[in-house]
Structure 1
Amino acid sequence: MTGPLDGVRAVVLAGMGPVPYTSMLLADLGAEVVRVDRPAARGARALAQVSGMTPETDVVGRGVDSVVVDLKDPAGRDSVIALAAAAEVFIEGYRPGVAERLGLGPDRLLAAAPALVYARLTGFGQDGPRAREAGHDINYVAASGVLGHLGRAGEAPLPPINLLGDYAGGGMLAALGIVSAVLSARTTGEGQVVDVAMADGAALLTAKLHGLRAAGLYSDERGTNFLDSGAPFYDTYRCADGGYLAVGALEADFYAEFVSRLGVDTADWPAQNDRAQWPRLRALIGEAVAARSRDEWAEVFAGTDACAGPVLTFDEAADSEHGRARGLYRRVGEVLHPAPAPRFSRTPAREPAPSPAAPRDLAAVLDEWRPDSRG
């Protein structure tokens, strides 16, 4: 084993969205994670395979073992309780009340293991009028107020893939909550329920914006602010070859560096922060950028403080000089894996590997997880 979470054991009821992502994060950092797949659907791994996924392409399944258990069978339910009692962490992503109906709610599991951290991942949380509603990332991000701020002025809100709700506000926040609760349990001997709602997490990501709004420095009209494509010096521009240049020259000295390298006469350009002239400034920057290819601009701005650089594809990012130097991605066979993060100097994370191809034997896992099995 390796990683800062070496020695932590987690049981996960198979799910979608943030649940497998949280499992991957914990496994990357050294936790021993076992997912419980249900035979009726052949489990999350089989569902992935039905949609064209394989163990090699199931990136979020890396480092996670699985067992197949019929949760409707009392013997199966008892085996999951036994697994949870031998672990420090239990994770489920069902709608409120479902785990209780399966006999696997927090009251029952904490009675069997008082120091257990019981994490629940949902869209709207365990209570409130929308708690039992179905939804996806777009719904949770919309309900948090975040989606209404994403997109250009005068255009419809733009869904940010499923990065903000499922992964940043859901899976990433769940991992932080779980580790925090494990630290508390190791100190106090008392476990607890960690209620992770993707709508809550998406809202939390906007903390800085609310300070700016209160200070009168951020408008609720999307696409009109410094960081949401409103400012012409914080946006993307099409290059001569159809590629794009990302510009983030917010500060005056960075902006001065940026315009000085455009290779055009900027003497009569509007002042950087003259909002009334932003449309003209945007057109001027766009015209200048359109004169060269993306890779030509990459050379112009490389190593400078202009805060400008090429918009890369995943493969280009992996094969870029910086990407190779940092190991930003790892190639596992033919599949590109984002490298585990953050980096640890003494307890490095696991190297990515293909997801396990087959479930493990439940009895073997239970035997390994006996309290005296650690030696």
Structure 2
Amino acid sequence: MSNQPLPLAGVKVLDLSTLLPGPLATLMLADAGADVVKLERPGRGDEMRTYEPKFGEASANYAVLNRGKRAYAVDFKDPDQRDRVLELAAGADVVMEQFRPGVADRLGLGYEAMKAVNPHVVYCSITGYGPTGPHAARAGHDLNYLAESGLLGVVTDSTGSPPLPVTVLADIAAGTYPAVVNILLALRQAERTGEGSHLQVSMAHNLQMLGYGYFATHQAGGAWPRPGAEQLTGGSPRYHIYPTSDGRHIACAALEQKFWDRLVDLVDLDEKFHDDAGQEQAAIAALESVFAARPASHWRDLLDGEDVCTVVVATWEEAVDAGLVEVAGPDQVSQPGHPDQSFSTFTSPVDPALRRVGGTVPYPTLAALPDGSPWA
């Protein structure tokens, strides 16, 4: 392993966020070398501590998202404890918060309060609907943001219903990643100018980036996507999911002509459907019949090694066996980009917050520290 320091070594991050978007963002910063201190409410702590299944005595989700951090209990409504938080913020490079708009300000922990004690601080606020506007104060989760952005309805099943997304796209792609990218940019700016900044990350608004193609189409022709009918949403035989005879599925993404030409020859599709223009639905039905006639193992053997951008939908076990997903035990779990890093901090004495979940305070209070600062 290289002896070079990690890119964010020496950067101090104060994390006031909970659940997924903020904690995943600060985890990425921690993996890059930042020193992350997480502050949670006394007793119950972060809601994710209670999730199932457990990793030992802790929630597996919580442990994964908060490895390598230190957690302390703080009652933000207590003026004395709030002042200790501000003292801690005075030495931080980054502050992450995920309250609804206005809550941090009411607690005395908003950007202006932090800036007053630390003009260089990069303060990142992740919200569902942005800091202002008619939806700003509304509660929401990933599925709500996808639904209201229009994205959830662009792919539908045979009944016209949108399916549940495969993962929490809004939280990660529109919350975590924009937060990390902008924090890094703001840190660079702070290095150059000496000035901090307040970053506003709205998950609902950032989803527009995921729908870039739909907006481009609308700007060019005025039309919005038809549910399940566009090239990438089910309207093309070249980009489609096809069932096999044994209940498995084929993921076809043979968009380019060279891939499509090779695929239809390889699976022996009726020649009249080789040119699918203008008869997309008929070509879809024909390919459905072809793929449904054989089990997934037949199609895997036929398609492997071919340049057709068409594959069998893998199970988790198959993805691991293929080396596309890395999984190991709690003491030997490597992370992409950090081949020697392990999850051993889940139960390490330096991470008491990760050791147990219960009705009592499972981590030290910030007030218990002699000088109020856990920075190394």
Q: Which moved more, 1:3-12 or 1:186-195?
A: 3-12
Q: State whether structure 2 residue 3 is matched by structure 1 residue 3.
A: no
Q: State whether structure 2 residue 303 is matched by structure 1 residue 291.
A: no
Q: 1:94 aligns with which of 99, 102, 105?
A: 99
Residue of structure 1 in register with 2:231 after alignment: 226
Q: State whether structure 2 residue 341 is matched by structure 1 residue 351.
A: yes
- Give the 5 Å matches for 1:259-338: 259-262=264-267, 264=268, 266-272=270-276, 274-275=277-278, 277-320=279-322, 322-323=323-324, 328-333=325-330
Cα distance, 1:299 vs structure 2: 2.3
Q: 1:140 aligns with which of 106, 123, 145?
A: 145
- Give the 5 Å matches for 1:17-36: 17-36=20-39
Matched to 2:258, the amino acid is: D
1:153·1:221 contact (CA, 8 Å) conserved in 2? no
User: Aligned pair in 2 of structure 1 residues 26, 313: CA closer, same or farther (>3 Å)?
Assistant: farther
Residue of structure 1 in register with 2:16 after alignment: 13
Aligned residues, how many? Answer: 353
Please give the per-residue CA displacement for 1:341-371, whole angstroms capped at 9, x wherever unaligned. Answer: xx4xxxx5873515442435742895552xx
1:152·1:229 contact (CA, 8 Å) conserved in 2? no
Cα distance, 1:50 vs structure 2: 5.6
Residue of structure 1 in register with 2:78 after alignment: 73
Provide TM-score, normalisation by structure 2. Answer: 0.85
Any idea what SS the aligned residue of 2:177 has?
helix
User: Aligned pair in 2 of structure 1 residues 232, 339: CA closer, same or farther (>3 Å)?
Assistant: farther
For structure 2, the 5+ residue unaligned runs are 356-362
Any idea what SS the aligned residue of 1:235 has?
strand
Cα distance, 1:62 vs structure 2: 2.4
Q: State whether structure 2 residue 205 is matched by structure 1 residue 200.
A: yes
Residue of structure 2 in register with 1:150 after alignment: 155
Cα distance, 1:229 vs structure 2: 1.4
Please give the per-residue CA displacement for 1:151-189, whole angstroms capped at 9, x wherever unaligned. Answer: 247612334255221111111111111111111111111
Distance in structure 2 (CA, Å) of the matches to 1:29 and 1:119: 18
2:179·2:201 contact (CA, 8 Å) conserved in 1? yes
Q: Identity, % of aligned pairs?
A: 33
1:11·1:89 contact (CA, 8 Å) conserved in 2? yes
1:90·1:118 contact (CA, 8 Å) conserved in 2? yes
User: Aligned pair in 2 of structure 1 residues 368, 20: CA closer, same or farther (>3 Å)?
Assistant: closer
Distance in structure 2 (CA, Å) of the matches to 1:216 and 1:190: 43
Distance in structure 1 (CA, Å) of the matches to 2:212 and 2:282: 32
Cα distance, 1:256 vs structure 2: 0.9
Distance in structure 2 (CA, Å) of the matches to 1:270 and 1:216: 28
Any idea what SS the aligned residue of 1:43 has?
coil
For structure 1, the 5+ residue unaligned runs are none
User: Aligned pair in 2 of structure 1 residues 8, 111: CA closer, same or farther (>3 Å)?
Assistant: same
1:218·1:225 contact (CA, 8 Å) conserved in 2? no
Q: State whether structure 2 residue 178 is matched by structure 1 residue 176.
A: no
Provide TM-score, normalisation by structure 1. Answer: 0.85
Please give the per-residue CA displacement for 1:86-117, whole angstroms capped at 9, x wherever unaligned. Answer: 11110111111111121111111011010101
